[in-house]
């Protein structure tokens, strides 16, 4: 996906060239002394031989370069996050996904699992700039070939992280839900899964896949709990968001079901996509239209229902404004949805008023009854029951 803001592309390339020149100067005498936030990026191209990148900077205050929760809580804007994140260098090695135990991978895995930033030594060659970003992970497009990565200080692991990493009888799914239950942030869990730090038969997992796997696994676990809760004959909307991602989320009486609709306004054109949804029995296939955003938003909604100890049918509408000029990763979707779940609540007297208020609450998505599969199902059911 291309960066949409032309001036930002210019500044990005200008800054990237400056970083490359600085690193070339530092590395001309041999190894680079750098710092990792910690952070990694693992590609899917060429699978099963994939690019495994350890992200680093020459700034000793590295932790702020990969801190989604901190950015969300302290109000960083899109430009600031983009500038910080795109200053990282992706030091890549090509590794087979089944070779999670080789020395290079072990060093990367331990650094990524650390609770603190780490000093590292490495050699890097063939530095290049690529002004493109992934909608799944954060921008980090200065890349180079890594040689001889070494961690030069002690790795400090949180107790739950240490427990699942060294216990090779701990199944991946159980480990994911255990870590989440212990308060480990999803971003950290997905990185652990990605670097082969979880499970019985460990392997490297591309970043894109690991993010979705973690959100989906945690969500499914909560769904089983939600299904034990009673339904409630109330109707309300939760709204809010951050970083140019605004949510309008409809809750209405019924068994657990969920749908996500997305709309993008890039300043020049508006696009409203097709939705993805699941009913009480769940999905059997990966979503086709909303990709990883679906599982991230669903998780935020489920956390709200768990807190309420109630079961609802839910339709979430994500509206992306021109403020979000460059994708920063699925974490933005998750945190924006969480902001909405703690945002403004608007109660309505019935289902019809819920639909009417949602149409006026949204910026871009109107005629929700024509766009939502779950609302259409509900209207048809109500109409049929009335006829009977």
Contact between residue 158 and residue 190 where contact means Cβ atoms under 8 Å apart: no
* Residue 387, pLDDT score: 37
- Where do the domains of the chain lie? 6-151, 159-226, 235-387
Contact between residue 342 and residue 242 where contact means Cβ atoms under 8 Å apart: no
> Radius of gyration over alpha carbons of the chain, in Å?
22
Distance CA 182, CA 231 (A): 28
Closest CA to 331 of 154, 151, 198, 208: 208
* Residue 126, pLDDT score: 85
Q: Bridge partners of 118?
A: 36
Contact between residue 319 and residue 364 where contact means Cβ atoms under 8 Å apart: yes
DSSP strands (E only) in 110-214: 118-129, 142-151
Output the six-digit token pair for 260: 């996500």
Distance CA 124, CA 151 (A): 15
Phi, psi of 169 (to 5 degrees): -100, 0
Residues 6+ apart with CB under 8 A from 100: 109, 195, 196, 202, 203, 204
* Residue 388, pLDDT score: 38
Contact between residue 79 and residue 8 where contact means Cβ atoms under 8 Å apart: yes
* Residue 86, pLDDT score: 80
Distance CA 209, CA 44 (A): 9
Cα-based angle 92, 97, 102 (whole degrees, multiple of 5): 75
Q: Given the structure tokens 């796997």, which residue do they identify?
A: 213
Distances (CA, A) of 7 to 3, 11, 331: 10, 6, 25
* Residue 5, pLDDT score: 53
Ramachandran quadrant class, 96 (left: phi over 0; alpha: psi -120 to 50; beta: rest): beta
* Residue 124, pLDDT score: 86
* Residue 267, pLDDT score: 86
My answer on whether omega of the bond before 48 falls inside 30° of 0, hence cis, is yes
Cα-based angle 225, 228, 234 (whole degrees, multiple of 5): 105
Distance CA 65, CA 55 (A): 9
Closest CA to 81 of 65, 94, 58, 102: 65
Closest CA to 277 of 255, 261, 254: 261
Distance CA 165, CA 190 (A): 13
* Residue 42, pLDDT score: 94
Contact between residue 46 and residue 14 where contact means Cβ atoms under 8 Å apart: no
Ramachandran quadrant class, 83 (left: phi over 0; alpha: psi -120 to 50; beta: rest): alpha
Instruction: Give the predicted TM-score (pTM) of the model.
Output: 0.92
Closest CA to 233 of 317, 313, 344: 313
Closest CA to 44 of 122, 128, 136: 136
Terminal CA-to-CA distance of the chain, rounded, Å?
A: 51
Closest CA to 23 of 82, 86, 87, 67: 87
* Residue 1, pLDDT score: 42
| Tens digit of pLDDT at every position of the chain (388 positions) | 444 554 555 566 666 677 767 666 666 556 788 899 999 999 999 999 999 999 998 888 899 999 999 999 899 999 889 888 888 888 999 999 999 988 889 889 999 999 989 999 988 888 887 655 555 566 666 888 888 888 888 899 999 999 999 999 999 999 999 999 999 999 999 999 999 999 999 999 999 999 999 999 999 999 999 999 999 999 999 999 999 999 999 999 999 999 999 999 988 899 999 999 999 999 989 999 999 999 999 999 999 999 999 999 999 999 999 999 888 999 999 999 999 999 999 999 999 999 999 989 999 999 999 999 999 999 887 654 433 3
């Amino acid at each position: 996906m291309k960066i949409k803001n032309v001036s930002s592309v210019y500044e990005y390339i200008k800054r990237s060239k400056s970083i490359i020149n600085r690193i070339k100067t530092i590395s001309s005498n041999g190894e680079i002394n750098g710092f990792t936030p910690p952070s990694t990026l693992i590609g899917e191209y060429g699978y099963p031989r994939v690019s495994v990148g350890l992200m680093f900077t020459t700034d000793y205050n590295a932790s702020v370069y990969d801190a989604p929760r901190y950015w969300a809580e302290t109000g960083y804007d899109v430009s600031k996050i983009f500038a910080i994140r795109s200053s990282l260098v992706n030091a890549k090695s090509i590794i087979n996904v089944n070779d999670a135990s080789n020395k290079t991978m072990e060093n990367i895995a331990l650094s990524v699992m650390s609770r603190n930033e780490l000093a590292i030594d490495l050699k890097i060659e063939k530095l290049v700039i690529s002004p493109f970003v992934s909608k799944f992970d954060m921008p980090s497009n200065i890349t180079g070939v890594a040689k001889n990565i070494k961690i030069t200080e002690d790795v400090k692991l949180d107790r739950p992280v240490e427990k699942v990493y060294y216990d090779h009888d701990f199944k991946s799914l159980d480990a994911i839900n255990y870590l989440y239950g212990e308060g480990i942030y999803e971003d950290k869990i997905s990185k652990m899964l990605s670097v082969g730090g979880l499970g019985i038969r460990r392997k490297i997992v591309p970043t894109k896949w690991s993010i979705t796997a973690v959100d989906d696994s945690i969500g499914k676990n909560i769904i089983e709990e939600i299904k034990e809760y009673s339904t409630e004959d109330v109707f309300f909307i939760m709204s809010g968001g951050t970083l140019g991602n605004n949510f309008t989320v409809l809750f209405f009486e019924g068994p657990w079901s969920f749908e996500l609709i997305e709309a993008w306004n890039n300043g020049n054109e508006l696009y409203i996509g097709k939705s993805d949804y699941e009913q009480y029995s769940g999905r059997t296939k990966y979503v086709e239209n909303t990709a990883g955003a679906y599982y991230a938003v669903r998780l935020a909604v489920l956390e709200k229902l768990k807190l309420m100890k109630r079961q609802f049918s839910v339709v979430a509408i994500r509206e992306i404004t021109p403020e979000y000029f460059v994708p920063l990763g699925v974490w933005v979707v998750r945190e924006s949805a969480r902001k909405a779940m703690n945002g403004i609540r608007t109660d309505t007297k019935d289902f019809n008023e819920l639909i009417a208020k949602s149409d006026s609450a949204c910026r871009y998505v109107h005629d929700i009854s024509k766009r939502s599969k779950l609302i259409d199902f509900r209207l048809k059911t109500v109409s049929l029951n009335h006829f009977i």
